[in-house]
Amino acid sequence: MRKVILAAVAACGVAAPGMALADAREDVVSGLTRCAQITDDRQWLDCYYGAAQPMRAWLGLAPAPQAQLKLLQNQPRPSALPATVARAAVRSGPPPKPKTSGIFDVFGGSDVVNNAPVGSYEVTADGFIITLLDGQVWKQSDDDAAKHPVRWTQAASSMRVTIAQGAMHSFNLVVGEENLHHKVTRIR
């Protein structure tokens, strides 16, 4: 029984400095939020140094000058955040088209789409049009359709594609584990 009590006391002793450190850090962060309302750079910096006083005390450093502490005390406490915070508007639709990188586009580049699920596809005599779940629509180039017609029969939901930037402002689409690269252009 003594060993259990001794172990509990030792565990509390080890955890206590961490809790005190967390309290000091929380006090510093709380003070920093009070400094955010100051517009003058020098006063803001003095307030910032004053806000660090709890950590200075914890580390055994010299206290901050009284002027810095007074500046912090004169600032009102920030109001509490509402229980629910409104989320920022989320863009709907496909992500924007990739930006060009000038001369470096001549040599190709990294993946634009990596292992993305396919929403639907349509195969015609003119090639295929593939729609990804995020709304991107890609069309097989006419030259590629003539050289590499596709004969996909699996369901779109079972397909995944990777699209990489190719040479000369082109894009290469690979379906699943196929070794064939299809030249595509983005429609939407």
Least confident of 33-37, 103-107, 163-167: 103-107
Confidence band for 156, pLDDT divided at 50, 70 and 90: very high
Residues paired with residue 132 on neighbouring β-strands, in sequence order:
118
3-state secondary structure at position 136: coil
User: Over the stretch 70-119, which tens digit does the pLDDT of each residue have?
Assistant: 776 766 665 555 555 555 555 555 555 555 555 544 455 666 888 899 99
User: Are residues 142 and 127 in contact, defined by beta-carbon separation less than 8 angstroms?
Assistant: yes
How many Cβ atoms are within 10 Å of 89's Cβ, its own excluded? 6
CA distance to 30, 54, 116, 140, 165, per residue, from 69 (Å): 14, 11, 55, 67, 56
Name which of 159, 88, 82, 162 is nearest 119 in CA terms.
Answer: 159
